[in-house]
Copies of this chain bind each other. A is one copy, B any other.
């Protein structure tokens, strides 16, 4: 293998495969990555067995070949520090030689036989989606996945195509986040659980203005552009029937500025976090009063809201659950819908927003 390539191109390709490389500490071999040179392009492949990433770049190839660079991070560090834009890579006596200007390094390589292959992928359903849209869908759902492994399916984001809509759902037992967009008919009927880490990896690899092909087989999901591919192993199991959890009627509704309520809850959260005390919302006479208490002190603040529905309501939440849901909304105003102090609250963008997002938060019991 003998290649001339631009440093910047190599750096971008290493960025694309770098987060996966070496993240499976149980298999030291996976600290490395495959680099193969063929025709006029280089393909770089790294995997942690759950997520596989591939980057494809143009290069001047004098001699084709395929090797594994044993320590991907070391290679990455060296490439970034090279003195010149031109980089020469050449396999010599069981090493790869990296030359740039008057700097010369040799790194250990190994054969490709033992390195895991890219998963074989038999496409089942696929659709195209704009990078910015997919990024937004993932960011508005993935934060709500479960972080413990009690129910493994809940550590993933549920992708579902139903009636022409791609729904993304995440829930962890005390909240549920749901966001959606329209997609093409071919994907109708799709349902898949993408692990949270895989969803985040895809989201990080996306450029806002790219058009992306997202394809699903029974075991894997493939994210693809001209210059990169990510294959994520799906989670096995059946996802929770989320639509049956969603309340459809409410006895009390308030509408308020998103920034206003987020800021006030964040202030209350400073005191509440000592001992993870709840924050308490009291809705009364067109006013939302937000309070929190801990052994170190207490805090209280009123904000003005539009209120509908009879009677006053007092309801308590873990501040993190409420804040993350409110922050995920991108509308200027948000609507909070309640039934009682023990039933979940549904947060949606206010009526004059066309944002496709809803968030359900379970309250906590108020200690008296």
Contact = CB atoms under 8 A, between A and B. Distances in A.
Nearest to A292: B105
Nearest to A96: B297
A83 B263 CA distance: 8
A105 B296 contact: no
A311 interface: no
A244 interface: no
A266 B81 contact: yes
B296 A71 contact: yes
Contact of A271 (B70, B74, B266, B298): B74
Nearest to A105: B299
Interface string A77-95: 1100111000000000001
B78 A267 contact: yes
Contacts of A297: 71, 74, 95, 105-108
A296 B81 contact: no
Contact of A301 (B70, B104, B106, B267): B104
Contacts of A82: 267
Interface string A57-79: 00000000000001100100110
A270 interface: yes
Report how many copies the assembly holds: 2
A93 to B, nearest CB: 12
Interface residues of A, number: 32
A105 B266 CA distance: 13
A300 interface: yes
Interface in A256-312: 263-264, 266-267, 270-271, 274, 295-303
A301 B298 CA distance: 63
A103 B270 contact: no
A241 interface: no
Query: Most B CB atoms within 10 A — which of A77, A297, A300, A302?
Result: A297
A367 interface: no
Interface of A: 70-71, 74, 77-78, 81-83, 95, 102-108, 263-264, 266-267, 270-271, 274, 295-303
Given A74-B296, A81-B267, 20 more contacts: A70-B296, A71-B296, A74-B297, A77-B270, A78-B267, A78-B270, A78-B299, A82-B267, A83-B263, A95-B297, A102-B301, A102-B303, A104-B299, A104-B301, A105-B271, A105-B298, A106-B298, A106-B299, A107-B296, A108-B295
11 contacts: A74-B271, A78-B299, A81-B266, A95-B297, A102-B301, A102-B303, A103-B300, A103-B301, A105-B271, A105-B297, A106-B297
